[in-house]
Structure formats: structure tokens, C-alpha cells
Structure 1
Amino acid sequence: MKLKFTRLFLVALALFAAGCSKDEFSEADAIAAQKELLTLKYQHELDLETLKQKGANALQQLVNTAALQQLKLNDSLARTSAVAAAKQDYSVAVTDVVTNAPIADADVIVSSEGKLFSTKTSAQGIATFSSLYLFPTSTFLITKTGYAATQIMRKDITLGTAKLWNTAELSNEISGTLYIDTDLTNSTPEKVGGNVLVTASTSVPNGFNGSYSVQFPTFTTATGTYSLKLPAAPGGYSLQFAQIEADQKLYIYATEDTETSSVPFQLPYVASVKTYFNVNSFAANIPSIISPIYLKFPKDKSGRELYLPLNGNSNSAAYLSVITDGYQIERLNVSNYNYYNGFYYDLNQSTFDANTKLDVSTVDITGNLIKSQPLLGATTNSAGKIIITSSPEGGYGYVHLRRDAAGRIVTNAKGVISRATIYDSSQNLYVLNFSSNLNFATSLVTNLNYLLPNKGDKRIVNFYYGAGESRLKRVF
């Protein structure tokens, strides 16, 4: 911090020395020098403001030092003959930026003819100066302990008051909890954890013209909470949040490193993919994976296992009845898998032994639906392709309850499944009706701008980072 301040002082000193080497010093020269100093001042302003609630006092120190050097530079080289003829009396009015009440005992400093002149404001908030030579752009610097410093040009003092902002009274607060979806396999968002930067910024008038931005930062706690102590502000506070990089858990069929054409020979699986999050961000693709239960066929002649999703629609239905500890399969209607959930399922891609019975099992990728494995079967034709058949219990399609050589359903073939949806109450029939994506994201958008105009204003605002802005790898 000391190094930055020293650099700013040296630049000001160099500009002062360069100006002294000229034969004449014009108002244009003064404005150019002032702009260069102000550029440096505002470059370091943000660094100083990140000193949390003490930032306003640091800004005051920086503005004071830079402005004093600039003011000396404006006037120290003015021609003596022109100065005497242009001297005037000046009055500067100073008010509170929030309440507009006059501010007494504020220090007001201006430079004339290479000298500093200072005075304090009266009870009416007025500072008066007698017989000074000033440029139209000569600047009055106004400071007071506990307030952010401000300034106003000579040409503007008749147009309005200079504004001081009380930054010592941190009576206002914005607090809450930050949430993030790092696990899409559940239905609730997670808390972001600790050390995430949260910043409230506001724009403050620094005189009749212009303004500057002040920032108040804080970090989240280990439980994802944050709290910003703030002064009442003339305008609204805008909140910003640091980007978060985290592994996100979700169901996928593949990443960009694998072939999505592996469907139907690949089950969806849970993966952790590095994801980048920003508040209110939902741009990252979320794969649509609807069915948690798949029919698993044995390896075909090429060594590949075939997986078909089992759902509640008419072409991929398992009809169940309710029993004491869950539901059991009574018959199946698995008849059409040319296209399902964004993928093509062509059963002709697989070739098995001709005219055989295939044992088919069920796979629950969530691990919480199948309590007891159903025993199922399929039949191939002379070409080794799975064929559609009917079953004695009324099923139709590629897959049925498994039977022994005598044609009877084998023991415990109906299995036990923990969850199903009513299909026909008169027949006590249920189906595995899955319609929601297994990847769940909360789509909450929160406003980032808040007014805290009155002392003591408080807001509790929970912010949601979203399901992700982008990922290190694309997922499908």
C-alpha cells in the first residue's frame, strides 16, 4: 500500500517539475495534469476499498494527497499580473449525500498561487474564502473524519452543493446464504462453503458532477453464509459474486472423450465433472436421463451387452401389482425401441445364438428402486435376433416373465420394486412411470440490486449460483 502511495506522489511531483520548466502554464496544461493524476487515483481506489469497512477512510487519504498536489500544480505558475485582476470571494456549500442536511466542521481546502487555503464549514455547512485566484477547474477538496472525501470544481459551486458520505455509521446490512448445485442427483441445492468473495458496490456523487464507486467486500463462512455491514447509501447497492470452480455430480451417458453412439450398449452412469459457476447461471448443458431402470440383455456375439430403458409409456411398460412390501411385475409390454429419450435403440444391432431363450435382468442405476431382482427372458429367431412374442399372462413384446421348460413362471420371477404409479385401480395395476429428469436443478434467479436508503435498513437475501455456466468437458 505504501509503495502505491509513493508512486502516486512521485508522479505528481514529476508533473509539478515538468510544469515548472515551461515559460507559460495555461489552464489546458492544468487540466491535462489533473486528468493524469485522477487516472492514477482511481486505479488504486478499488484496492484501497477492499480493506472492507475501512475502505472509505483509505480513499479519503488517497484523494486528499493526490488532489493537494494537483491543486498546487494548477496555480503555482500562474502569471502574477493576471492573478491580481482575477481574485474573487468564494463560498462552498457542503451537505450529507443521504440526508441533504448541512454538514458543519468539514475541512475545505483549495490552492491559489501555489499556496493552500483551508477553512471549516459553518453550522449551515458553508465554507467561505476571500480574494482568491482560481481557474474554473480549480478544485475544492472537502473532508471530514468518518466521511468519504469529495471535491467540487470552482465552476460548479454555484450549481449545487458538494456531497459528503458518512461511511462510519455501518447501520445497514445485507446477509444471507449462498447455494449451488454441485450434486444434480438430488433435489436440493448445496451450500457453497467458505471463502467465496461477496462484494457490495455503490456509486457515490463526489460533487455537482461525477461520482466514484465504493466497494465493501466480505467472504462466506464455512456454512455458506455472508454478511455485509454497510452505510446508508444514496443509490442502490449492487452485489457481485466470485466465480466458483467445483466438481459437479450428475448422471450422464458420455463425455466428449467417449462415443455417445455407444447407446444402447452403455448405461447412464454417475460422473463428477469440473464445472464453473456464477450467480444466476444456467448455461451448462444438463443431460436428459429419464428412466432409472434398464433391461439388461446378455452379451451378444460381438461381446456387447444391450440395455433398454423401462418406463411407463405404452411401448416400454411393466405392469405391477401392489404387495405387502412393494410392487411385483405381473406382465410386460416392451415392443418399440426405435427411438427413446433422444437416442436410437435398434435391436437389430445385436445378434445372439439362433432360436434361444435369453435371461434378462433389470438394472437400477439409482440403487433404491429394486428390492428383489425380477427374472425376465427374451426369445431369438433363426437369425439370432430378438423377436416380439406374446405371453400367457397377457404381456406382449420383446421381454416377458421368465418360464421353465414346462412353460410355468419360475419361482420369484416377479421380483419386488419399491415404487410405482397407479395405472388401473380396478385391476390393481401399476406402472413404472418415470417422467422427471434424474438430473435435478433448481432454477432460482435472485435480483442483484438493492436499495438501502435509510439508516438501519436490513435485508436477508439468499443467492443461488445455478446449475453451472460451463464445464471443463461437454457431457451427454
Structure 2
Amino acid sequence: MKSKFTILTVMTFAILIAGCSKDKFNENDAINAQKDLLNLKYQHELDLETLKQKGATAMQQLINTAALEQLKLNDSLKIKSNIAARKQDYTVRVVDVISNAPLADADVTVSSEGKIFAAKTNAQGIVTFTALYLFPTSTFLVSKTGYAATQISQQFAGNSNVKLWNTTDLTNEITGSLYIETDLTNNIPEKVGAKVLVTAAANIPTNSSESYTVYFPTYTDAAGVYSIKVPAAPNGYTLTFEQISADQKLYVNATEDNAVTSFPSSLPRLTTVKTYFNVNSYNAPVPAVYSAYYFKATPDKAGKILYIPGNTNYSYYNQVLLSTLGDKFQVEKLNINSTNTQNGNVDMGLYTYDANTKIDVEIVDITGNTIQSAPKLMANIGSNGKIAYTYSAEGGNGYIHLKKR
């Protein structure tokens, strides 16, 4: 009895416990559970649709790939058909560029469809290639031992001769001497010296429409002499010379280094200028000095020195008449009468000396050819202390005259 009661008691507690748990699952829980079921169903349907789309995409990719391969096949068949239709025979005739005689055993090479085709010309200088497919830019390469190699475009093959140039006969010689003016104070040209590059260039026609240029270089020796052995060329040769750098001796009125280039801030003088000689250009400008002399008077009362230009483009009448005395020159008469303050000339009225006197004037000859020891030069000072314009006994006129002994 005791055990049965116990069992019944336990069952009663179980029922009570179950009843308590069921009471906790309310209506809200049921609604949430229903939502979870709907979401699960939606997700399953979404996954299924995704699989369908992927399948459709994969199928379309297969269709596209198959169509592309078909297009490639059609293009390949079309290209092969076009190539077959465009294949043709090509004839190349090779001659000597000087004599125009046919050249046998010349090697002719061309590339077609990835293959190299080569043949030699016959006794008539002709070679023929059959059924070649060439591009508009394709060329035939032509060579022969003892000749300069060349090429011809496919569009000219058969229409004009290929001309080869014989380069083995070097019996022709071009010689000469190079001079440059590194000293403008004399009348003798100077030698360029050694190691100046001289190049002979020949233009060689490949055919009636194409050509190429060949160069033969050499160097001058210490005497400026050059010599080049060359083959006969159909159009002769053109000589070119490299640019030469050297110091050039010359007389100048001014240089770019002078802050003020006008007279008398810059006086005529002998100088050396770094010069680049391009002997391929002609009529190159040469710096000019209008006058290689000028006049320098004794300082005035304020210590200022009067400079008078020589016979320049501005002072046409400042002339010195000379006579030859051995290898030198002596002053015989002067006409110094230009005092215009314009164009770089000086105003003598700005200089004041002791009245009614004579002042010494020096002629500065930058060439060193004029005798300056005798006779001396002088200027007459008037009562106002200014240099006076007078006439000389020897027939000169102006502001400077010979000093009488």
C-alpha cells in the first residue's frame, strides 16, 4: 500500500508540474512561433529562387560561350578565305645602282604568314615568289656580297628595279683642307688642327621612289687636311664638318660683358672671344669694328678725359689721313669735326681747359700700326676754355690737328 501511494503521489506532482508549464506558453508565444515558421518558409523560397537564377545564368553563359566560339570559327574561316583570295605572285628585279646592269645571285628574303621565303636572282637579276600573302608594310630584303644591303616595299616590287650599291671599289678619294678665322686681325686664315670630324654622305636610291643615306667619316690631321676613300656614288657626296670651338682674336667696340656698350664707356680694343664655328653655314656674321682708333685728350680742369671716336658709322668725318712709313703708318692730316651728342658721340662743350692754350691729344690705335712718337696731336683752346674748331696749315679742319714742332 505504501508503494502505491508513493507512485500516485509522484504522478500527481508530475501532472501539477506539467500543468504549470503549459500555463506559461501564452498567445504571444504562439504568434512568434508562427512568424518563425513564415520566415523559415520565405528563406527556403528565396534560396530556391537564387538557385534557379544561378542555373539560368550558368545556362546563359554556356549559350554565350558557344555563340562566341561560333563567331571565332566564322571569322577564322573568313580570314582564311580572304588570305587565299589575296595571295599573289611577286617579282623582284635587282640591278647595279651605277651601271643599271642586272645582278645575279643577289639574295632576296621576305616574310609571309610567319614563314621566311628566300631565293637568289637569276642571270637577268630576277627572282619570283608565288602565292604570297603580304601586308602593305611588308618589304623584300635584298643583299649581295660586296654591295650595300637594301630593301623594297611590296607595293614597288615588280614596278621598279631594286638598286644595289657596290661598296668594294674605293679608288675614289675626297681630300681637302679646313681653315677657320681664329684671328681677325690679319688676312691669313688659320688651320683647324687635328681631330675635326669630316663626313662624306651619299644618297643611294633603292628604287624610283625610295632611298637611303650612307656616311663615310674621317678626321683632319694636324695641318687640317682630311682624306676619305669612297666608292663611286650615283649622286656624288655631300661633305659636313663638325662644329669647332676656338678662341677668336678680334677688335671690338664692346662685348656682352660690358655694362655699357656705347662709346666712350666701352672703348675699341683687341680681345679674344670664345667662338663656335659651324663651317656648314655660309655668310655667318663676323663682329665688326667701325674704327680701330680713337682720340684721348689731356684731362680738363675737372679731371675729366675727353674721348673722341674715330671714323665710325656715326662719325663719318672723324678721319685720319695716313702715309706709309715702312710697315707702319704716319699721320699726315686730320678732319675731326663731328661733335653731335646723339648716336653715342660726345659734346666737347662739356669739357673746360685753361683759356688760350694748347692741349695734347693722343691717337690710340688698337692695331698698333700708327706711329705715335711723332708727330704729336693737339687741340686749340679758345678764350672760353673750350676746344676750338680751327683749320690747319696742312689742310685739315676740326678740333684736332698735328702739333707743329
**Counterpart for residue 63 of structure 2:** none
Measure, in 2, the Cα distance between the counterparts of 1:393 and 1:110: 91
Measure, in 2, the Cα distance between the counterparts of 1:205 and 1:399: 70
Measure, in 2, the Cα distance between the counterparts of 1:241 and 1:161: 34
* 1:135 and 2:134 aligned: yes
Measure, in 2, the Cα distance between the counterparts of 1:205 and 1:391: 75
Q: Using a 3 Å threshold, how does the CA distance of structure 1 residues 287 and 302 change in structure 2: closer, same or farther?
A: farther
Structure 1 residues 410-425: aligned runs within 5 Å: 410=405
Q: What is the one-letter code of the residue matched to 2:399?
A: Y
Structure 1 residues 222-261: aligned runs within 5 Å: 222-258=222-258, 259-261=260-262
- The offset of 1:401, in angstroms, is 4.1
Q: What is the one-letter code of the residue matched to 2:133?
A: L
Q: 5+ residue gaps in structure 1? A: 1-22, 27-77, 403-408, 411-476
Structure 1 residues 313-328: aligned runs within 5 Å: 316=318
**Counterpart for residue 378 of structure 2:** 377
- The offset of 1:226, in angstroms, is 1.9
**Counterpart for residue 299 of structure 1:** 299
- The offset of 1:99, in angstroms, is 1.2
**Counterpart for residue 269 of structure 1:** 269
Task: Report the secondary structure of 1:156's partner residue.
Answer: coil
Measure, in 2, the Cα distance between the counterparts of 1:361 and 1:342: 23
- The offset of 1:335, in angstroms, is 4.7
- Deviations for 1:60-119, whole angstroms, at most 9, x for unmatched residues? xxxxxxxxxxxxxxxxxx976766676655442111112111111211223344333322
Q: What is the one-letter code of the residue matched to 2:348?
A: L
Q: What is the one-letter code of the residue matched to 1:189?
A: P
Contact 1:251/1:268 (CA < 8 Å) preserved in 2?
Answer: yes
Task: Report the secondary structure of 1:344's partner residue.
Answer: coil
Q: Using a 3 Å threshold, how does the CA distance of structure 1 residues 373 and 204 change in structure 2: closer, same or farther?
A: same
Measure, in 2, the Cα distance between the counterparts of 1:385 and 1:379: 8
Q: What is the one-letter code of the residue matched to 1:184?
A: L
- The offset of 1:272, in angstroms, is 1.0
**Counterpart for residue 14 of structure 1:** none
Task: Report the secondary structure of 1:217's partner residue.
Answer: strand
Measure, in 2, the Cα distance between the counterparts of 1:243 and 1:322: 40
Contact 1:159/1:208 (CA < 8 Å) preserved in 2?
Answer: no
Measure, in 1, the Cα distance between the counterparts of 2:228 and 2:269: 41
Contact 1:295/1:308 (CA < 8 Å) preserved in 2?
Answer: yes
- The offset of 1:220, in angstroms, is 1.9
Report how many aligned residue pairs link the two structures: 326
* 1:364 and 2:365 aligned: yes
Measure, in 2, the Cα distance between the counterparts of 1:340 and 1:229: 63
Measure, in 1, the Cα distance between the counterparts of 2:82 and 2:271: 79
Structure 1 residues 4-23: aligned runs within 5 Å: none
**Counterpart for residue 389 of structure 2:** 388
Measure, in 1, the Cα distance between the counterparts of 2:360 and 2:80: 107
Measure, in 2, the Cα distance between the counterparts of 1:325 and 1:113: 84
Higher RCO structure, 1 or 2 (CA under 8 Å, sep 6+): 1
Give the TM-score of the pair, scaled to structure 1: 0.58
Give the TM-score of the pair, scaled to structure 2: 0.67
Q: 5+ residue gaps in structure 2? A: 1-71
Q: What is the one-letter code of the residue matched to 2:269?
A: Y
Percent of paired sites with the same residue = 52
Measure, in 1, the Cα distance between the counterparts of 2:337 and 2:89: 94
**Counterpart for residue 16 of structure 1:** none
- The offset of 1:370, in angstroms, is 0.9
**Counterpart for residue 124 of structure 2:** 124
**Counterpart for residue 35 of structure 1:** none
Structure 1 residues 131-280: aligned runs within 5 Å: 131-135=130-134, 137=136, 138-207=138-207, 209-258=209-258, 259-263=260-264, 267-279=267-279, 280=281
Measure, in 1, the Cα distance between the counterparts of 2:189 and 2:342: 25
Structure 1 residues 101-120: aligned runs within 5 Å: 101-120=101-120
- The offset of 1:295, in angstroms, is 3.6
Q: Using a 3 Å threshold, how does the CA distance of structure 1 residues 183 and 382 change in structure 2: closer, same or farther?
A: same
- The offset of 1:201, in angstroms, is 2.1
